[in-house]
């Protein structure tokens, strides 16, 4: 069990952002345990082909060793992300990590598993070998993550928008309890039901929270004194990541308003989300989705609200009546 203690400044400093480097690094867990990460098998199959290329395997080797199965990640390798951060910026941040912090973070991972040969070498010569690790992360992103990054990013952005709305509407205590079943708000702190056993005072630095498609079943923390506090939590609706959704066969609603608009209403029946995420899930272009949403909004079937740079869409009561009348939604009550 871990405890994160908050001041008023820390509560005000809770922020949500997408971290490209987190997805790149944590994706190695899926490569090592495909059964546990079965939802990602379409991606894993493609990534394995990529990793079998000798020129890729040689350069990605340092990352493969650092992110072994059951091994904790050093904090410097998954830095706290700020909103709209790009991969290049995060790589520069990792490359600029002081050698003393590299050593401290590596030693903090030893309770999970002893360091492997590359980890031992990095511990002995952080200044000389850190560039190899940064290059490994860059190559893996370019070869395995970047081709699917728009799809991943859409899901992650939708989660950030949804969580930001929760935080604004419900406050920090309820927000954390909705974020993950293992988190509980008690007084001035978050209690995390985990095996890390940390007792950590945020000390006015706030907390960066990053959704991830590859975190598995728990919230992962960056809670060393020389790192900005951060947590990576499982993204919502990860099961939809590799799917394209269409209206059910024979859907009567599709015959009335068209298959594209019917598909959007079906998706918005289960989640509040963004144009980009709807485009990813339907296979339509973002422009096409925007046109359909504009028509549905004008007809009073969807509502929209802005959360930061995101616009969230949800079905109205009128849409729920329409879906139920067509047999596409479960009766309420």
Query: DSSP letters along 176-187, please?
Result: HHHH-TTEEEET
Q: Look up the pTM and report it.
A: 0.76
Identify the pLDDT of residue 253: 84
Query: Cα dihedral angle (321, 327, 328, 329), rounded to 10 degrees?
Result: 60
Instruction: Give the pLDDT band of residue 248 (cuts 50, 70, 90).
Output: low
Given this model, what pLDDT does residue 57 score?
95
229 DSSP 8-state letter: -
Task: Tell me: pLDDT of 332 over 70.
Answer: no
Choice between 310 and 153, residue whose per-residue pLDDT is larger = 153
Q: Which of 62-71, 136-145, 194-203 has the highest mean pLDDT?
A: 136-145
Average pLDDT score over the chain: 87
> What is the tens place of the pLDDT at every residue in 253-305?
888 888 888 888 888 876 778 888 888 777 777 888 888 999 999 999 999 88
Tens-place pLDDT, residues 100-147: 999 999 998 888 788 889 999 999 999 999 999 999 999 999 999 998
Provide the greatest CA pair distance for the chain.
68
pLDDT at residue 246 in the model: 56
What tens digit of pLDDT does each residue of 12-61 get?
Answer: 989 999 999 999 999 999 998 888 899 999 999 999 999 999 999 999 99
60 vs 83: CA distance, rounded Å: 27
CA dist 263 and 275 (Å) reads 13
Looking only at the bridges linking them, the beta strands covering 183-186 and 230-234 are unpaired
């Amino acid at each position: 069990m871990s405890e994160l203690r908050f001041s008023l400044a820390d509560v005000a400093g809770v922020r949500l952002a997408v971290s490209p480097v987190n997805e790149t690094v944590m994706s190695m867990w899926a490569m090592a345990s495909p059964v546990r990460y079965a939802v990602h098998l379409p991606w894993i199959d493609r990534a394995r082909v990529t990793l079998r290329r000798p020129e890729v395997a040689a350069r990605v080797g340092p990352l493969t060793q650092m992110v072994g199965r059951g091994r904790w990640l050093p904090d410097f390798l998954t830095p706290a992300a700020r909103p709209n951060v790009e991969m290049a910026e995060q790589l520069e941040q990792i490359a600029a990590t002081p050698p003393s912090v590299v050593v401290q973070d590596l030693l903090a991972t030893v309770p999970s598993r002893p360091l492997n040969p590359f980890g031992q070498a990095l511990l002995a010569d952080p200044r000389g070998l850190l560039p190899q690790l940064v290059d490994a992360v860059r190559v893996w992103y370019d070869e395995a993550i970047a081709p699917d990054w728009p799809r991943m990013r859409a899901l992650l952005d939708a989660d950030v928008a949804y969580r930001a709305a929760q935080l604004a509407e419900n406050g920090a205590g309820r927000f954390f309890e909705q974020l993950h079943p293992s988190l509980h708000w008690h007084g001035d702190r978050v209690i995390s039901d985990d095996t890390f056993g940390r007792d950590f005072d945020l000390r006015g630095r706030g907390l960066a929270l990053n959704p991830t498609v590859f975190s598995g079943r728990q919230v992962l923390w960056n809670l060393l004194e020389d790192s900005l506090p951060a947590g990576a939590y499982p993204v919502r609706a990860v099961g939809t990541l590799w799917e394209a959704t269409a209206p059910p066969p024979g859907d009567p609603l599709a015959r009335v308003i068209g298959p594209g608009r019917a598909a959007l209403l079906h998706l918005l029946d289960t989640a509040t989300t963004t144009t980009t995420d709807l485009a990813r899930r339907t296979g339509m272009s973002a422009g096409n989705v925007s046109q359909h949403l504009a028509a549905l909004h004008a007809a009073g079937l969807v509502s929209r609200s802005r959360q930061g740079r995101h616009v969230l869409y949800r079905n109205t009561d009128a849409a729920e009546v329409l879906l139920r009348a067509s047999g596409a939604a479960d009766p309420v009550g």
